[in-house]
């Protein structure tokens, strides 16, 4: 999710703005969908992205498949 305004950012447990996660994913210091797996999140977001950007869901899935694994939540810990 593009985070262009203060309202787009998630919040930490103390109510401060979290710079890493959006308001839909992270509120009050916890993930709103903690059991979500990367493939579920890509599938969930593809329709929204396709509609908002005027592209096919297949294109949205491809873009998300490239981008989302690089986000902090989904990066592999080594």
pLDDT, tens only, 8-30: 999 999 999 999 999 988 999 99
In whole angstroms, what is the distance from residue 19 CA to residue 33 CA? 18
The one-character DSSP state at 73 is T
Cβ-Cβ contacts under 8 Å for 36 (sequence gap 6 or more) = 44
Regarding pTM above 0.85, the answer is no
In whole angstroms, what is the distance from residue 35 CA to residue 70 CA? 19
pLDDT, tens only, 46-76: 999 999 999 999 999 999 999 999 988 988 6
For the chain, what are the domain ranges? Answer: 1-32, 36-78
> Helix (H, G, I), strand (E, B), or coil: what is residue 41?
helix
């Amino acid at each position: 999710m593009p985070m262009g305004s203060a309202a787009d950012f998630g919040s930490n447990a103390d109510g401060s703005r979290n710079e890493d996660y959006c308001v839909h994913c992270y509120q009050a210091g916890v993930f709103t969908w903690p059991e979500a797996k990367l493939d579920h999140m890509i599938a969930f977001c593809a329709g929204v992205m396709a509609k908002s950007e005027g592209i096919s869901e297949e294109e949205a899935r491809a873009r998300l498949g490239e981008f989302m694994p690089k986000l902090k939540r989904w990066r592999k810990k080594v």
